[in-house]
Structures are given as C-alpha cells and as structure tokens.
A and B are shown apart, each in its own frame.
Chain A
Amino acid sequence: MFWDHFQFWGEHLLLVGIWVSLALSLNLINGSTGLFSLGHQGFFGVGAYTAAMLVAVLPEKMGWGAPGIGLFLLSFPLAMLTAALFGLLVGVPCLRMRGDYLAIATLGFGEIFRIFAINSETMGQSRGLSVPNVVRAFFLDTLKMERDDARHLELIFYIALSWGLSLLIFVCMRNLMRSAHGRAIMAIREDETAAELLGVNLTRYKVLVFVLGAGMAGLSGAVYAHYLRYVVPEQFALMQGVIFVVIVVMGGMGSFSGTVIATIIIYFIPVLLSFSPDSVRVPVFFEPGRGLVYRSPKELWQVIFSLLLIGMILLRPQGIMGSREVTFGWMRKRAESAPGKGGVT
C-alpha cells in the first residue's frame, strides 16, 4: 500500500526535481542575465538525445551488447558537454541581438533542432528512441536484487539524482551570483550599454551564460531521458519551452527561490486538476448545430495555463518574488530581538 502511493507521488517528486533543475538553468539565461531565450527546450533535448543515443544506439552499432553502468555514468558528462557546445553555437551568433530579436532567433534554433531530430534516421525520426533501463539491469543482474526492491530503489535513485542535481545547480547559481562575475551578469540585465561602459566584457559573459545554462539543461535532459526511457521530438517542442519561460517569469526574473516555488506551483496544478471528479463538466463553447460543448477541468489545464500567463503578465509582471530571494534572515532577526536575548538595536 505504501509502495503504491510512493510509486505515484515519488514519480511526481522526481519529475518536479527535473523541472526545477531545468527552470534554474533557464533562470540564469533569462532571469539573471536578461537574455530572453525561447530555445531552452532545444538544449534540454540535445542533452536528452545525447544520453539516449549513447546507451540505445551506440552499443547496438558497435556490437557491444547491452549497455553497462559505465556507459550510463558517462552519458551525463557527455550530455552536458554536447549541450554546452550547442550553447556556444547559439550564444556566439546571438551576441549581437537584443530583446525580442534574440527571443526569435533562439526560437529558430530550438525549432531547427526539433526538425533535425524528426528527419534524422539515427535519432529515430518522429518515433524517437527507446532507452534501455540500465539502472534496473544493474540492480537486478550485478547486485542480484529482488525485482520489487530494484523497482523501488530505482525510483529512489532517480529522485535523489534529480533533486541532487537541482540542489547542486541552486548552490552553484547562488555562489555565482554573489561573486564579481554575478554582479557583472546582473549589470548586463539592468543596462547593457551602461555595463559595457563600466568595463563588463559583454561578449565573454553572454557566451559564458549561454554555455553554462545550456550545459546544465543538458544534464537535466540526460536524467529525463534515462528515467522516462524514451525520447521523442515532441517533448522538445516550443510549447514545452514556453512552460519554463513562464515559470521563470512567474518566479521573478533572477530569483532562484522564486523559480523553485513557481515550478512546484505550475507542476502541481494539473496534478491536482486530474483529481477532479468526472461529474464536473464546464461548458466551453456553443457550436451551431451541435449545441453546448462540455469539458472536464482536467482537460482545461492548458487553457488555465495560458490565462494564468496573461493574468500574471498584466497584474504582476515582476513575478511572485520580484528579484528577491527567500532567506532565513528574518528568523534570526526575530530571535535576536526577542526579549531577554539582548539583540543589537
């Protein structure tokens, strides 16, 4: 009974972890630096496809038999490197563009990647690739575990992996933004021309941000491909990227804790909607000759999502957190000012 619930909620926990890591890397590009990219799903896809091809296509082509855990472990740094390389590829030409033009160009790059995947034989065209379950095989064959134990441990492993990755990215981002490099990056967001006049090397920082952000998105992609055990081009369509852009805007551009909160909200709204009973039906349209069209709330998630986006932009364009962070300083302050503690006034 416990394990049934664990399977259900554990999978959501794991996917939220991947979403958080991806949103954090996008926040570096879009939020902290203000380079408005609409192509992050492409970097995510490059990482996912690299990992998938390494364990699904390469051993088959080379005649190595089933992929081992070594190849699995190798796929993460390799996915990161390939995605970072793509980040360089996109970042360098996009240096000269600003604002909406940059958004459109990155959108173009993302779409080109997807169209390439649809047309490439090795990448499985629109059918995509199915990825062998290397972790399960390792638990069963090498560690000689029971089938149920292996299944549960696999989920725990992936939860730890995705949240570990998120934590790692979170800490790296926080430290980066507190350093001199971080200040330079923020200066670019606030005013590019002024930052350049103050001696910030625009070229260097913009390329750095694209390469870093893309590399981290590639890592998230590798986790995603290994856990889901398939990749198809449609997972990396524009709409998927837009979800993460909305998360970053909703959390507050440049606020890392805001991004985490927004990811959890956006992820769990459709999960909660899916619990709505079938008897609840909402009229959405009157079609001539057919009468009223009814839909259940769970089908309306994407409509709600787009309304949420428009509403948020109109009412609170700075997002939930603005560019502030959730800190625990207020707890300390309260403890210090409590009577009898002799806090500094």
Chain B
Amino acid sequence: MTDFANFLLNGITLGAIYALIAVGYTMVYGIIKLINFAHGEFYMFGAFVGYFVLTGIFAVPPQGGEPGYLALLAALLAAGVATGLLAVLVERLCYRPLRNAGRIVALLSALGVSLFFQNMGQQAVGADFRKFPPTIAETRYPRSEVPLESLKEGQVAERDLRLTYYVKAEDGRDQQRVITIANGGEAIDGAQLATARDLAASSTLPAAVHAYPRVTVSNRHLLIFLALLLVSAALYVLVMRTRFGRAMRAVSVDFEAARLMGINVDLIVSGTFFIGAFVAGICGVLAGGMTFERIDPLMGLMPGLKAFVAAVLGGIGSIPGALLGALLLGVSEKMVEAYVSSGLRDALSFGILILVLLVKPSGLLGRFEGEKV
C-alpha cells in the first residue's frame, strides 16, 4: 500500500511536469493548428538558461552550496522570459510565413526548428550530461523533529530516522547533507549513531534528526505542484477574464473572422507562443534541472513527445484537457514502470497516442471538428 502511494505520488509529479509542457502545445495548436515539434526544445532551452544564470551570475559550481530561493526565482524568471522571447522569434521567422501553406508544410518547419535546437545545442554546449546546481536544499515532508540525545543504541525506530547536517562546499556556501540513522522498524545501530553524533557536532549550521513516514514528498516536487497550480489559475484568468483571452478564443474559433473583427491576430499568436514557452522554460528549470538534476541538449525530446501525447489524450486545443491528459499519462506511466516493465513505459505512451487517434481523435475534453469541404 505504501509502495502504491509512492508510485502514485511520483506519477502525479511526472504528470505535473508533462502538464506544464503540454499547455504550450495545446494553446499553440488551438490557435494556429500547428503541432509545434520544437516545444520540447523550449523546455531544454529554459533549463540551460537557468543553468547559465545559476553558474554564471550566482557562481554556483555543480557540486556547490545552495544559494536559496532568491537565486532560484531569478533563474526561473530569466528562463521563462528568454524562452518566451525565443519562441516569439521562432514563430516570426519560421512559422508565420507558412501560415497559409498548409499544416504539413508548417509541421516540417517545426521539425526543422526542433532538429536545429537539438543539433546546435549539442555543438554549442556538448552532448554530455551536465549536473544542475542544487540551488535549494532538498527537504522531505511530512517530518517531525526528534532530539539526537534521546536516541539510544538498540532502541527500535518507529519511523525512518535521518540526520540533516551541513558542510562547507567548495564555493564557501553551506551545503546540506542527509544520512540515515535507522529505517522504520529497525533497531538503531551503535556505530551509525556515533557517526551521526560526530557529524552533528561538526555541522556548520545547526543539525537536526527528523522522523519520516514511509510516504514523503520533496519540496522540489511541491514547487512543481505550486507552479502547476499558479499556471492553471493564471491561464484560467487570462483566457476567460481578459480581453487578450477573449481574442485568443476568437482566433481559435475562426482565424479569418477574428482578423476581420479587428483583432490583431499576429499579436495574439506571438503572445500565445510567449506564454506557452514561458511555462515550458520554467518547467525546464524546475523539472529537468531541480528534479532530474542533469541536463543535456536532447533532454527535451522525450518529455516533448510525451507532453504532446498528453495534449492529444486530453483533446488537443483544450487547456483543461491537457492538464487532465498529462496527469493520467504520468500516473499510468509510473504504474506500468512499477508493475509491468520499465522498458514498456515509453511504448505505452505511443500506444495510448495511436489508440486515442483511432477511437476518439478529439480526445477526452476536446471538441469534434468536422471536415470542411
């Protein structure tokens, strides 16, 4: 049961990551009917902008300390804005001239842009993985503090007991480390307890022992959930309650009629690209950087495809659909990985994709659009 809860939690986290990428896909498709293959590369680009802000401006070496939430906020903002501007540029140069040329031609252009970022990225920063700086200390919740002095050798731990202590990292900042004293249900080992006492004594900041239940959630995952909540709320307000949103909806219903009604469609399309890429860029830092902890130029490929599957599953063009599809996909992937086979995980998404396209091409929450002759 606890295993299941952990898989479910991991699945929801993965789903939230897919959701943050999928909203950009679905918004762009809703407006100009383009499958923007390069969207996964926006996620990659955001992660690298965050990386260069943290290592360049805040001078955090990959094994360095944790500059904290302010640095993270700066990295997120920079990643979002830079990725958004990049997307506006890509749309202006590579998609706008093709707006009347047919969907397949635009799809090929998007494929070209995606390949360009993957290949150029590999040449510019190298094809190898880079470790993302830790930025904020990882904390798992829920937890309760236990005084170190109260622990005795041979005593049976009710829950997992872990010591959090701090050392000076190579850049002089404090870095958090965690060691396990005893797992829940086991007796405390004397040697381990002695080591923990030594480490606590030499810690540069006050050390503490915490008891953790079997199912915990990391503050980094909570950040992703928070980002998803904020993004969903902001998008709802934007699309449903503002002039810009009303214009967006009008353009998605009928591009030409919206133009005739005096809507500046070019501005709406640019704005949509900016918003979608802004969210994908932020997700690149939060997910690719903070959660998976390593980044490389091809990191956008699979999450991009999966997010697209999620968008199709939920009904492409629909924002609530993308969120629902992403969560479903994330949870089912983790379940297949846990109970069937990790190798089949990727095959599952493509199987779902083909099945949805066959059985219900409009997805779970999408509208059916008949063919105009």
The residues of A with any CB-CB pair to B shorter than 8 Å are 36, 93, 96-101, 103-105, 108-109, 111-112, 115-116, 118-119, 193, 239, 242, 245-246, 249, 284-285, 287-289, 293, 295, 299-300, 302-303, 305-307, 309-310, 313-314, 317
Contact = CB atoms under 8 A, between A and B. Distances in A.
Contacts of A119: 341, 343-344, 347
B259 interface: no
A100 B36 CA distance: 11
B343 A105 contact: no
A109 B101 CA distance: 27
30 contacts: A36-B104, A93-B354, A99-B104, A101-B361, A103-B107, A104-B308, A104-B357, A109-B350, A109-B354, A111-B347, A112-B354, A116-B347, A119-B344, A242-B111, A245-B111, A249-B108, A284-B120, A284-B123, A287-B125, A289-B56, A293-B124, A295-B123, A303-B116, A303-B120, A306-B115, A309-B108, A309-B115, A310-B116, A313-B109, A317-B101
B316 to A, nearest CB: 9
A169 to B, nearest CB: 24
B132 to A, nearest CB: 15
Nearest to A253: B104
A309 B120 CA distance: 14
A167 B313 CA distance: 43
Interface in B322-347: 341, 343-344, 346-347
Given A115-B343, A303-B123, A314-B94, A101 B115 contact: no
Contacts of A285: 123-125
A36 B111 CA distance: 13
A307 B93 CA distance: 12
B28 to A, nearest CB: 13
Contacts of B371: 98, 193
Contact of B353 (A108, A249, A293, A302): A108
Contacts of B56: 288-289
B54 to A, nearest CB: 11
Contacts of B122: 302
Contact of A96 (B113, B351, B358): B358
B232 interface: no
B172 interface: no
B115 A112 contact: no
Contacts of A193: 371, 373
By secondary structure, the A interface counts as: helix
Contacts of A104: 35, 308, 312, 353, 357
A97 B109 contact: no
B35 A100 contact: yes
Interface in B104-136: 104-105, 107-109, 111-113, 115-116, 119-120, 122-125
Given A242-B111, A287-B125, A306-B119, A111 B354 contact: no
A111 B350 contact: yes
B97 interface: yes
Secondary structure class of chain B's binding surface, majority of residues = helix
User: 8 closest A-B pairs (Cβ-Cβ)?
Assistant: A285-B124, A309-B112, A288-B56, A119-B343, A306-B116, A306-B115, A108-B350, A302-B119
Nearest to A243: B115
Interface in B292-324: 305, 308, 312
A300 B116 CA distance: 11
A100 B120 contact: no
Nearest to A299: B123
Contact of B108 (A97, A98, A239, A313): A313
A245 B115 CA distance: 13
A278 B373 CA distance: 57
Interface string B84-114: 0000000000100110010111011101110
B10 interface: no
Given A288-B55, A314-B94, A111 B346 contact: yes
B347 A306 contact: no
B52 interface: yes
Nearest to B345: A115
A101 B343 contact: no
Contacts of A115: 343-344, 346-347, 350
A88 to B, nearest CB: 15
Contacts of B354: 93, 105, 108-109, 112
B271 to A, nearest CB: 23
A305 B125 CA distance: 19
A98 B107 CA distance: 13
B222 to A, nearest CB: 30
A314 B98 contact: yes
B302 to A, nearest CB: 10
A268 B353 CA distance: 36
Given A284-B120, A310-B109, A103 B357 contact: no
Contacts of A96: 358
B357 A313 contact: no
Contacts of A93: 354, 358
B165 to A, nearest CB: 30
Contact of A314 (B109, B119, B358): B109
A307 B116 contact: yes
Given A285-B123, A288-B56, A112 B351 contact: yes
Nearest to B34: A100
A313 B103 contact: no
A31 to B, nearest CB: 12
Given A284-B123, A285-B124, A302-B115, A112 B104 contact: no
